[in-house]
Structure 1
Amino acid sequence: MTLPFVNLRNLLFLSAIALLASCAASKKSGSSHAYMKKQYKELKKALNDADVSIVEDSLKVIFPNHVLFATNSDVLKDEVRPTFTRFAEVLNKYDKTKILVTGYTDNTGTDQLNNALSEKRAVSGKQLLQENNVAADRMFTWGLGSRHPLATNETEEGRAKNRRIEFVILYNVQPENQ
C-alpha cells in the first residue's frame, strides 16, 4: 500500500516542478547538478533534524512535524526560528535557486478551511525565510489542504505529521539570451 502512496507523492512533486517550469532545465548541465549537490550537502549539515533529499536535480526539505504548527494555526512555532535562520543562510548562499513552499493540513475541518489554512501555512514559511533575507521573488507558495498526508489522520500523532510545510528547491536556469 505504501508504493502507490509514494507514486502519488512523486506525481505531486513532479506537478510542482511543472508549476515552476521556468526553473527546469530542458538540458541538464553538469554545473547545475554540482551546484545542487553542494547545496544539498550544506543543507544536510545545517538542518540535521530535517529530512533533506535529492529528487532528480531538485532538493526537498521537510522539517520535523511536531515543531511547525498547532491545530488550526498558520503561525510557525517559535522554536523553529533558529532552524529557519540556518536554512535561510544556506538558501542565501545558493541564490541561483527558486523555492516552492507547499503547505498542508490534517483532515480536521472542511476542505475549504483546510485549503485556505494550508496556503496560509505556506505563506508563513515564505515570510519567515523573507525575515532572514531570502528574496521574495525566489519563492512561490502552494496550499494543498489535507491532500497527500504523510501519516494517518486517525491519531493525534499522525495528524501532527500532516500539519506541515515542505520546500522544493530548483535550480533557476536563465534563458540563454539574458
Structure 2
Amino acid sequence: MKRMLLIPRYGLVALMAVVLLASCAASKKSSSPHVYMNKQYKELKNILNEAEVSIIKDSLKVIFPNNVLFASASDQVNESIKPTFGHFAEILNKYNKTKILITGHTDNTGVANYNRDLSERRAASAKQLLGSFNVSNDRMFTWGLSDRDPIATNDTEAGKAKNRRVEFVILYDVKD
C-alpha cells in the first residue's frame, strides 16, 4: 500500500520539477533583453569617454556633446570624432539585436524651419557616418526634433551649446 502511495508522490515531484524548470527558462528568456542591453551599456560606457551613456529600463541613450560632433550651425560631423564613431559602430554591430533612433537637436536661436531642417540634417549625417562603419541602415531611424526637447536652458550660451546635439537611443529589437 505504501508503495502505491509513493508512485503518485514521485509523479507529483517530477511534475513540479518540470513546472519549475519551465518557469525558470521563461524567466531567463524574459530577462535576456535586459542582460543583453546591460552588457552593451557597459561596453559603450567603457569605450565612449566623451559621450554621456545612460540606461533607461531596457534602452540605452548616448549623447555626444555638440562641440565634439558638429561646429555651430553645421550638420557636418567633425573629423576628429570619426575614430570614436568607429568604436561606437563596432559595439553597435556586435550587439545587432538592436534598433537605433538618432535624434537631431538645436537650440532656440533662429527660425523654426531652419532649426527643424538643421536637426534633421544632423541626425542624417550621424546616421551616414555610422553607415560608413557598416551599421545596417535597416537598424537606424532619424528624427529631427529642432528645439523641442532642450536638456538645458536656452537663456545662456552654455545651455544653448548643450541643446545643440545628436542623441542615440538604442532599443532591443523585440522581433529577435
* Match of residue 109 from structure 2: 108
**What is the alpha-carbon distance in structure 1 between the residues aligned to residue 97 and residue 121 of structure 2?**
26
Q: CA RMSD in A?
A: 1.4
* Structure with higher RCO (Cα < 8 A, 6+ apart): 1
Give the unaligned 5+ runs of structure 1: 1-27
Q: How many Å apart are 1:65 and its aligned residue? A: 2.8
Residue number in structure 2 paired with 1:155: 156
Question: Residue deviations 1:30-85, cap 9 Å, x none?
Answer: 11111101000000011122111111110000112321222221111111111111
* Structure 2 equivalent of residue 83 of structure 1: 84
1:32-71 correspondence to structure 2 within 5 Å: 32-71=33-72
Please report how far the alpha carbon of residue 138 of structure 1 lies from its aligned counterpart in structure 2 after TM superposition.
Answer: 0.2
Identity %: 66
* Structure in which a larger fraction of residues adopt helix: 2
Report the number of matched residues.
Answer: 148
Equivalent residue for 1:92?
93
Q: Give matches, 1:107-126, under 5 Å.
A: 107-126=108-127
Is contact 1:68-1:163 (8 Å) kept?
Answer: no
TM-score (norm 2): 0.80
Scaled by the length of structure 1, the TM-score of the pair is 0.79
Aligned to 2:20: none
Structure 2 unpaired stretches of 5+: 1-28
Runs of 4+ in 1 over 6 A off after TM superposition: none
The CA distance in 1 between the partners of 2:161 and 2:77, in whole Å, is 13
CA distances 1:78-137 after superposition (whole Å, capped 9, x unpaired): 111111111001000000000000000111111111111101110011001001110000
Q: Show the counterpart of 2:135.
A: 134
**One-letter code aligned to 1:30:** S
- SS across alignment from 1:29: helix
In the alignment, the residues of structure 2 paired with residue 75 and residue 49 of structure 1 have an alpha-carbon distance, to the nearest angstrom, of: 18
State the Cα deviation string for residues 115-170 of structure 1 (Å, max 9, x = none): 11101110011001001110000000000001111222233222221111000000
Letter in 2 for 1:147: R
